[in-house]
Amino acid sequence: MSVEEALGISTETAMEIVERRWPGWARVRPVLRAVDLSSVRSWLRCGDARKVGEVMHALAWLAATDGDDDVEAATVVAWLMLPVAGRVAYELRTMSPDIDSLVASQLWIEVRTVNWRASSRVAGNIAKSLRRNIVRDAGLDPSRPATVEPVLWPDLTECVLSDCQGGPVDPEETLVAALDWGVESHTIQASDRDLLLAMVAVSASDPRHRSPRRPLLAAAGLIGPQLGITPRSVRRRSRRALDALAEHAHEIVEFFEPIAS
């Protein structure tokens, strides 16, 4: 299961709501007129930071119970935050076998109770509160840092980063963004993204698999028993997903070009 599946909000569901409700929302909050509805997530990721912040604040007001209390707006905000939620679930995957459900439930709470009055940076606040509250409810230290140091799939890395000359590149953020693109474009499934992230985490944390000369698929022998499937199944699923992403490598480069410019 993924956070998306646990939450029960697919891209198709969210886009149906966007197409049906956005014009009405934009009449109430005119800043929403600036959004390219054909690719909402990409616009929010690559658009002007100030404008993106204003749009997310408007959506948060619509979604909050002490704002416009619009459940469908909350559904869209939760969908927009799914990449972040998936990353939180991945970081906290050892905390509970039901981590996807825990993250999905807490995400909905954060969206419906976000303090839109206190700050305009609602997306960042939701992201921070999501992880902090899950960890705190488990009786752990909310300040505990993530320890993931991912190593990207070499062939894909070369293509994705070839045009990124605008400064230092965070490999973890690049990996998550590339996999999110794959899910949003229906190139891979959400479960494929989660599997690849888990394999990267295992490969990064096991000293035997830290060398970049060792293939990512070598982690299959370790991740298979954790997921209750055979290493052969892990290799087959992950290779299929990586091959699918590789076929769209140039589209992924185009996706990253606004970030690199």
- Condensed to tens digits (0 to 9), the pLDDT of residues 209-221 reads 444 434 566 666 6
- Condensed to tens digits (0 to 9), the pLDDT of residues 225-241 reads 666 777 778 788 888 88
Q: Name 182's Cβ contacts closer than 8 Å, sequence gap at least 6.
A: 188, 192, 193, 241, 244, 245, 248, 252
Q: Does residue 21 have a pLDDT over 80? A: yes
State the maximum Cα–Cα separation within the chain, in Å, rounded to a whole number. Answer: 57
CA distance 231 to 6: 25
Tokens for 100?
């996807």
The mean-pLDDT minimum among 106-115, 167-176, 225-234 falls in: 167-176
Q: Against a cut of 0.85, is the pTM above it?
A: no
- Condensed to tens digits (0 to 9), the pLDDT of residues 149-160 reads 333 344 444 444
